[in-house]
Each structure stands twice: as structure tokens, then as C-alpha cells.
Amino acid sequence: MNSNDEYGDMVSTSLSNETVRTTEVDSTQSCLDYDEKTRVFLDIDYYDEIMIYDYPQGNVIKRVKNDSIKEEFVEFGLLDKNDSMFYIVAHSSLTEEIITKGWIQKKSHLRIFSSVYVGKTVLYKSPDRSSEVLVEVEEYSPDSYEVTDFCDNWLKIQVKEKGKSIEGWIPPEEQCCNVYSTCN
């Protein structure tokens, strides 16, 4: 750890070889199929730290934040959830080194980009292509979208379209978690 900050002021300082407690997860929930597509990143414009807990309403085991000077950002693999928290694996976007596993608040400034540069980004009412289409975002936006939920590899995001805030599900192939370049 950095002597100036007991919690690790940057992602790079929080990547030390600390012993970290993790918790087993109840896998009875229907939206648990994790793979590399179910990744999000900590908002690159968010400069405060995110607390990671050993279990819901448990103890803080780690604090992480982006290092915009070194351009090293925190990514999260989404593993499980409850009503107010996500169970995650946190890692460096630059080195892919795992920081820790634990629980974070759902309102933790999680973001994703759209990978649709030509065509329309489609948001669905449910995480299923046969569900109702809520909106087709006509024009590509370089802005990231707030992630509010996940199910399997689908992410629920908030977009602003024609002055309205709309929350819907984006399919895995339309998600881009790369903060350094486009996903095409």
C-alpha cells in the first residue's frame, strides 16, 4: 500500500498482493451466466473511490478508484446481485490484474459504451430479443451509459433519447467495455 493513503489511492497501488476475504455466492438466481461480455467499467469521469464489501451489509475489504493520470481504470465483472448490490470481480483495465472480489452498491457509477457505430442501438424491455423494443437509438454517441442491472450477458442501461430518459436492456454484442478504443 501507498504510505500516503491507507486504502490505495490508485488502481495501481491497490493491486498489491494483499490477502482479501471473499464470500461464497448463492447460485440459485436465474441470471448468473458470467463470461467476459458481462463487464462494465467505473465511470472514467468519477474521481472518488468505490467501496467493496465482503458480503452485503458487511465490512469494507477494499477501496478502489480510477487513476486518470496513468490512464488505468477499474473494470468489474458482474457475477451476482441482490436488490441493492452487485457481486463483482474488480480488475485493472490496463493489466487485467484482479484487484478483488466482493460486493458493491448498484449505484456505483458503472458504465458501458455502445459498440454500434453504424446502425441503431436497440434497447429491449426484457433481456430477450423477442421482448418489446423500447427504443432504437438512431445516432452513435461516444458517451458511456449508466448500467443499472444485468441478467446473463445483458445489461440494463439508461439512455437519453429525444430528451427522454429511457431504461432498457442492451444485448451483449452491442456492449463495449473498452475504455481505450472502439470495440470494432
Domain 112-176, what fold?
SH3 type barrels. (2.30.30)
What are the grid coordinates assigned to 120, written together? 441503431
Please tell me the predicted confidence (pLDDT) of residue 10. Answer: 36
Nearest to 22 by CA among 57, 63, 66, 52: 52
Contact call for residues 64 and 11 (beta carbons, < 8 A): yes
Distances (CA, A) of 20 to 9, 31, 100, 133, 179: 17, 26, 7, 42, 27
Exposed, middle or buried, 86 (CB in 10 Å: 0-12/13-18/19+)? buried
Nearest to 50 by CA among 3, 93, 97, 100: 100
Where exactly are the structural domains of the chain? Answer: 13-23+36-108, 112-176
Please tell me the predicted confidence (pLDDT) of residue 33. Answer: 42
Please tell me the predicted confidence (pLDDT) of residue 70. Answer: 92
Distances (CA, A) of 95 to 73, 90, 113, 178: 10, 12, 20, 13
Please tell me the predicted confidence (pLDDT) of residue 13. Answer: 32
Residue with cell 463483482: 88
Distance, CA of 29 to CA of 80 (rounded, Å): 8
Q: Could you read off the pLDDT tens digit of each residue along the chain, which spans 184 residues?
A: 333 333 333 333 333 333 333 333 333 333 444 445 489 999 999 999 999 999 998 999 999 999 999 999 999 999 999 999 999 999 999 898 999 999 999 999 999 999 998 888 999 999 999 999 999 887 778 889 999 999 989 999 999 887 889 999 999 999 999 998 877 6
Please tell me the predicted confidence (pLDDT) of residue 85. Answer: 96
Nearest to 103 by CA among 85, 90, 91: 85
Distances (CA, A) of 72 to 62, 65, 159: 17, 9, 26
Helix, strand or coil, per DSSP, at residue 173: helix
Please tell me the predicted confidence (pLDDT) of residue 28. Answer: 33
Residue with cell 469521469: 45
Angle at 39 (CA atoms; ends 38, 40), nearest 5 degrees: 130
